[in-house]
C-alpha cells in the first residue's frame, strides 16, 4: 500500500487549498485516514481525521476552517483548507489506518495510523 499526496504549494492568507491523498493498493473496507502537519520547530499534530463511515474529528485550531472528506470508492481523502493563519504553514502528512476504524479523539492520534505519505508542503504568505 502506498499513500500518494498532492495539492500543496504556496497560498496567500485568505485563500484556499485542497490536499488529496490516495491509498493506492488497499482493497479492504474498514479504515481511517487523516491529515497531520508539522510546522517549523513544532511537533507533528493531528489536523483532521475521518473513518470509512464518514465520522470526523478536527483539531481546535482548524475547526470551521478546514474540511476533511473521504471517497470510499477511490480510497482518497481530501482536506479543503481556508487559510487564515501563518501557523498553517507546515508540511502536511497523510496517514492511513488500514483495517482500523476509529472514532473521536483517536482519529487525531498518530498511533492510529500504520501508513504514511511523504508529505506535501503548504506555505502561507500574507
89, 124 Cβ separation under 8 angstroms: yes
Mean pLDDT of 78-101: 96
Residue located via cell numbers 491523498 = 21
> How large a percentage of the chain has pLDDT more than 90?
94
DSSP letter at 102 equals -
Question: Would you state the pLDDT for residue 90?
Answer: 97
Residue located via cell numbers 481511517 = 32
With 90 as the cut, is the pLDDT of residue 84 above it?
A: no
Round to whole Å and give the CA distance between 96 and 79: 14
Residue located via cell numbers 502536511 = 92
Residue located via cell numbers 507546515 = 90
Question: Would you state the pLDDT for residue 109?
Answer: 98
Question: Would you state the pLDDT for residue 106?
Answer: 98
* Mean pLDDT estimate for the chain: 96
35, 93 Cβ separation under 8 angstroms: yes
Round to whole Å and give the CA distance between 85 and 79: 16
Amino acid at each position: 500500500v502506498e499513500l500518494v499526496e498532492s495539492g500543496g504549494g504556496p497560498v496567500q492568507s485568505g485563500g484556499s487549498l485542497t490536499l488529496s491523498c490516495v491509498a493506492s493498493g488497499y482493497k479492504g473496507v474498514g479504515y481511517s485516514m487523516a491529515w497531520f502537519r508539522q510546522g517549523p520547530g513544532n511537533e507533528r499534530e493531528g489536523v483532521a481525521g475521518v473513518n470509512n463511515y464518514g465520522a470526523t474529528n478536527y483539531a481546535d485550531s482548524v475547526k470551521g476552517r478546514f474540511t476533511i472528506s473521504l471517497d470510499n470508492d477511490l480510497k482518497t481523502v481530501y482536506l479543503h483548507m481556508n487559510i487564515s493563519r501563518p501557523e498553517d504553514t507546515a508540511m502536511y502528512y497523510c496517514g492511513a489506518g488500514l483495517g482500523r476504524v476509529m472514532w473521536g479523539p483517536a482519529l487525531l492520534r498518530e498511533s492510529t495510523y500504520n501508513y504514511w505519505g511523504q508529505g506535501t508542503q503548504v506555505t502561507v504568505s500574507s
